[in-house]
Structures are given as structure tokens and as C-alpha cells.
Amino acid sequence: MGFKESCFKKSLWVFHLSVGSCNNCDIEILDLLTPRFDVERFGMKLVGSIRHADVLLVTGIVTKKTKPRLLEVYAQAPKPIIVIAIGACPCTGGIFASGYNFAGPLDKVIPVDAYVPGCPPKPEAMIAGVVKLLKAKGKQ
Amino acid sequence: MGTEIFYFLIFPGLLFSGVIGGLLSWFDRKITARVQFRQGPPLFQPLYDFVKLMAKETLIPLRGSVTTFILAPVFALFGATISAVFILLPVLGVETGFSGDIIVIVYLLNIPSITYIIGAFASGNPLAAVGASREMKLILSYEIPFLLVLISIIIKSGMSISLTEIIAYQSANGAFIGSLSGIIGFITILMCIQAKLGFVPFDMAEGEGEICDGMIIEFSGSILAFFKLTKYIMLFILPALVAGLFFAGLPLNGINILWSLLKVLLVVLLITLIRNTNPRVRIEQAMKFFWIWMNLFAVVSIVLAIIGL
């Protein structure tokens, strides 16, 4: 593992994109920035523009309306980018899986690196998911 | 020729001011975290950010002007580095400046802001254009009090327009912060460098919540890293300039190194505390603040300097 990769893992800038969530996962993501969890210890921070991001957090089911937007945002992201599906909705569709506007789980639309299920997942679960992903990336 | 290149690239130019600026940016983030009862990032966080950005892909917007878009961060870095050389050589006492270098410094310090504006317009993004127009108005507002404070300093130091002579005058007759006009001028220039650095409450050009990082929205990869490095350098040289103008410079001999460090840290600490205890103001509120109150402060400082207080 080179110096560049270790720098990448220590400075993950996060862009979060809601493609049709109920806003609950988004609030749990913002919880990560509070004094109780404080992910800035690991160099993570939220950025306002996808051009600066290293991690794309996707919350909510991918609807037919938001699918083209999601693809556009993914195309605009500078590579390498990590995609993490937060919550039950982007992982499987959750309780909306049989909805008329459901456009398939997230990994049918864009490649996904990690799944954090839960409705909503706890902040601890999100941190654990990212840690497991980074460990797996280090072994490759 | 060799010494000039050494000055520009290593000390006190690109490498030195970049490293110290990175450490100060860590200090700023750590203090911010402690104010919010958080732990804060590790010491080498600015280095990690910079290397990561250098290694990432650089995207060029479809509707942008490619050459200007790529060259704007490079010129911003050049401007910041040249002003670092012109400020730090006299302030650190390495070499004397020339007569009138304080006027050159005023011009050079504007180059990063102007290249931000040019780069933002070249990216062709409407939010970047909004940010750039706000930055332009901000420059118009803070430049006048900044110049007026410099005039007050020049009057106090017996009409010398060289940074070395101003520092020498302070070493002989006591630092300017000890006088009434010096205190008022210090408050004014603190607000001006807050706006120059684009920190809260004057960060409307990069409002994260409303215009998504504003001017730098389209920048990614290595050109964003150049902008970050420019910000690190500015975070070091502006407090160093204030230390030179008000605290009798930053001499680097013996125990004075400790005092110099404390002076810079004090100015950065004040900036960080202002940043953490204030909300963002709207652009017309900022213009009103600078044009009415800060100009008034600066004029009062000039008047007090003339009558010798």
C-alpha cells in the first residue's frame, strides 16, 4: 500500500445524495459530525460539491425520476470514488421494493462498494461499515 | 539568481510557508473542534488532504474555458508565494526589503482573490458566478479600510513605506499595538484579513450551505489542491504581515523564535475564535460593515496617529 492510498484513506471527503429517502438516514449521517461521534477525527468531512468528493453516500430508494440525476452525479465525480449505500432502501428497496416508481436497488444502477443496512442505520454502524471497507481495500 | 530561486521555492517561499500554513490550518481546525467540544483532526491532516487531492482525477467542465480554468489556481499559487517572499523576508529579518515594498505587498495580496474570481467565471457554473460576484464586492469593501490602516501605520512610523523600517521603528520605540491608534488599527485589520481569508462571518463567496462552495465548486483534483495550498499560505502570511505591522516583526534569533511563534498563533487564534462565534452575514451587511464602521475605525486610527497617540 503506497503513500497515496494511505493519504486517500485518511482524508475522505463525503458528499451525500438523497435519491428519494424519507430524510431519516440523512439526519443520521449528520449525527456523525456531532461531538458524540466526530468523524473529523478520521479526516472525514462533508463537502458541498460532488467535484470535491471521495465518497458518495446514497440514501433512499432510486426512483424512476432520480435515476438519471444519480447517473449524472456519478459521472461528475472525480475517480477514484467510493459509493456507499446507506439504509435499507438503496440496499434492497426495503418496504418500497414493490412500489410503482422503484427503479431497482442501487447496485443495479451504479457500482456499490459497501452496504450499510438499517432503517435508519445507527451512526456506529456507518463508521463500522466504512472501517470494514477501508480494511478490505487495504488487503487488495 | 540562485538565492532568488531559493527564496521563492524553499525559504521563505513555497515550501516553508506552505508547511507552516498547513500546520496553522490544522491549528485552526483543531481549535474549531475544541470550541465545539469535538476531538478534531490529526496533525498531518492538511498533508493528507493535499496529497489525496493531487492524486485524484481532474475534471474540466464542458462549458468552461479550459486554459483559464486550469491556469487560475496556478497563478493564485504564484501570487501567494510571491507575496509570501515579499512579506516574510523583512518580517522574519532575513533580508531588508526595498523602499515602498508595502505598496507592492498590497497589490500582490490581491492576486489570489482576483484569480479565484477569474477561475470561477471560467468554470461556467452559475453558482460559481454568484460566488465570484460576491467576492468582487467583498474586495471592494475590505480594501479601503485595509489601505487606511496602512496609512495610519505609515504615519506612526514617521512616513516610512518600507516594511523593514516600520519594524525597525517598532523595535526602537515599542510595538504599535501598545498605542490607542494601534489597537483600533489592529481591530480593523483583523476584520480585513478575516474577509481576505474568506472565513466566517465573511465567507459568503464560498457559502457551503447555500451555493455549495461557491467559487471553487467546479474545481477538482490537483487544481483544487493548488487552491488549498494557496489558502494555507495565505493563512500564514496575513497573520505574519499583521505581526510585522503591529507586533514588531517575527525575529528568528534565540528565544525570539518562541515569541514569534506565539505572535502568529495569537493572530490565528483570534481569527478562529471570530470565525467560530459568528454567523455568516449577507453581502450587503458586510459592505455596510466595512464601508461605514471599519472605515470609521480606520479614520479614527489615522487621526489619533497624527496627534501622536
pLDDT of residue B298: 92
Q: Compute the nearest-CA separation of B16 from chain A (Å).
A: 21
Q: Which residues of chain A are within 8 Å of residue B29 when distances are taken between CB atoms? A: 40
User: Does residue A76 sit at the B interface (CB-CB below 8 Å)?
Assistant: yes
Mean pLDDT of chain A: 86
Measured torsion, CA atoms of residues B110, B193, B100, B136, in degrees rounded to the nearest 10: 30
Across the range B23-33, mean pLDDT stands at 91
Across the range B286-296, mean pLDDT stands at 91
Mean pLDDT of chain B: 87
- As a whole number of angstroms, the distance between CA B309 and CA B302 comes to 10
User: Does residue B3 sit at the A interface (CB-CB below 8 Å)?
Assistant: no
Of B100 and B277, which is predicted with more confidence? Answer: B277
Q: Compute the nearest-CA separation of B13 from chain A (Å).
A: 25
Max mean pLDDT range (B51-65, B164-178, B290-304) = B290-304
- As a whole number of angstroms, the distance between CA B160 and CA B176 comes to 14
Cell 479600510 maps to which residue?
A: B145
Q: Which of B38, B41, B219 sits opposite A35 (nearest CB)?
A: B38
Q: Which residues of chain B are within 8 Å of residue A11 when distances are taken between CB atoms? A: 45, 48-49, 52
Please report which confidence band the pLDDT of residue A140 belongs to, taking 50, 70 and 90 as the band edges: low
Q: What burial class does residue B103 get, using C-beta atoms within 10 Å of its C-beta: 0-12 exposed, 13-18 middle, 19+ buried? A: middle
pLDDT of residue A118: 86
Q: Which of B40, B41, B224 sits opposite A52 (nearest CB)?
A: B224
Q: Which residues of chain A are within 8 Å of residue B57 when distances are taken between CB atoms? A: 78-80
- Burial pattern B256-280, b for ≥16 Cβ within 10 A else e, equals eeeebeebbeebbebbbebbbeeeb
State which residue of chain B sits closest to A46, comparing Cα positions.
Answer: B208
pLDDT of residue B163: 86
User: Does residue A51 sit at the B interface (CB-CB below 8 Å)?
Assistant: yes
Q: Which residues of chain A are within 8 Å of residue B58 when distances are taken between CB atoms? A: 78
pLDDT at B145 over 70: yes
pLDDT at B27 over 90: yes
Q: Which of A3, A47, A48 sits opposite B51 (nearest CB)?
A: A3
Q: Which residues of chain A are within 8 Å of residue B45 when distances are taken between CB atoms? A: 10-11, 43
* pLDDT tens-digit map of B188-247: 999 999 998 888 888 887 777 677 777 888 888 888 899 889 999 999 999 999 988 888
Contacts of B126 (CB under 8 A, 6+ apart): none
**Record: contact B41-A41, CB cut-off 8 A:** yes
B36, B56, B276: best to mutate for the A interface, most A CBs within 10 A: B56
- Alpha-carbon distances of B108 from B58, B80, B87, B122, B226, rounded to whole Å: 28, 8, 10, 21, 17
Across the range A120-140, mean pLDDT stands at 85
- As a whole number of angstroms, the distance between CA B29 and CA B19 comes to 15
What are the phi and psi torsion angles at B207 (to 5°)? -50, 110
Lowest pLDDT segment from B23-27, B56-60, B78-82, B150-154: B56-60
Q: Compute the nearest-CA separation of B210 from chain A (Å).
A: 9
**Record: contact A48-B213, CB cut-off 8 A:** yes
User: Does residue A139 sit at the B interface (CB-CB below 8 Å)?
Assistant: no
Across the range A80-95, mean pLDDT stands at 87
pLDDT-above-90 percentage for chain A:
4
- Alpha-carbon distances of B62 from A139, B67, B68, B188, B260, rounded to whole Å: 37, 13, 13, 42, 47
How crowded is the C-beta side of A123, counted as CA atoms within 13 Å? 14
Beta-carbon count within 10 A of B120 CB: 30
pLDDT of residue B216: 83
User: Does residue B254 sit at the A interface (CB-CB below 8 Å)?
Assistant: no
pLDDT of residue A1: 60
- As a whole number of angstroms, the distance between CA B122 and CA B75 comes to 14
Measured torsion, CA atoms of residues A41, A42, A46, A50, in degrees rounded to the nearest 10: 160
CB pairs under 8 A between A and B: 78
CB-CB contact of B135 with B282 (8 Å)? no
**Record: contact B59-A76, CB cut-off 8 A:** yes
pLDDT-above-70 percentage for chain A:
99
pTM: 0.90
Q: What burial class does residue B137 get, using C-beta atoms within 10 Å of its C-beta: 0-12 exposed, 13-18 middle, 19+ buried? A: middle
User: Does residue A72 sit at the B interface (CB-CB below 8 Å)?
Assistant: no
Q: Compute the nearest-CA separation of B38 from chain A (Å).
A: 5
Across the range B150-167, mean pLDDT stands at 87
Q: Which residues of chain A are within 8 Å of residue B213 when distances are taken between CB atoms? A: 47-49, 52
pLDDT of residue B292: 92
- As a whole number of angstroms, the distance between CA B28 and CA B14 comes to 20
* pLDDT tens-digit map of A30-87: 888 888 888 888 888 888 888 888 899 899 888 889 999 999 999 888 888 889 998 8
Across the range B112-125, mean pLDDT stands at 88
Query: Would you list the DSSP string of chain A?
Result: --HHHHHHHH--EEEEEESS--SHHHHHHHHTTSTTT-GGGGT-EE-SSGGG-SEEEEES--BTTTHHHHHHHHHHSPSS-EEEEESHHHHH-GGGTT-TTB---GGGTS--SEEE-SSSPPHHHHHHHHHHHHHHHHH-
Contacts of B288 (CB under 8 A, 6+ apart): none
User: Does residue A36 sit at the B interface (CB-CB below 8 Å)?
Assistant: no
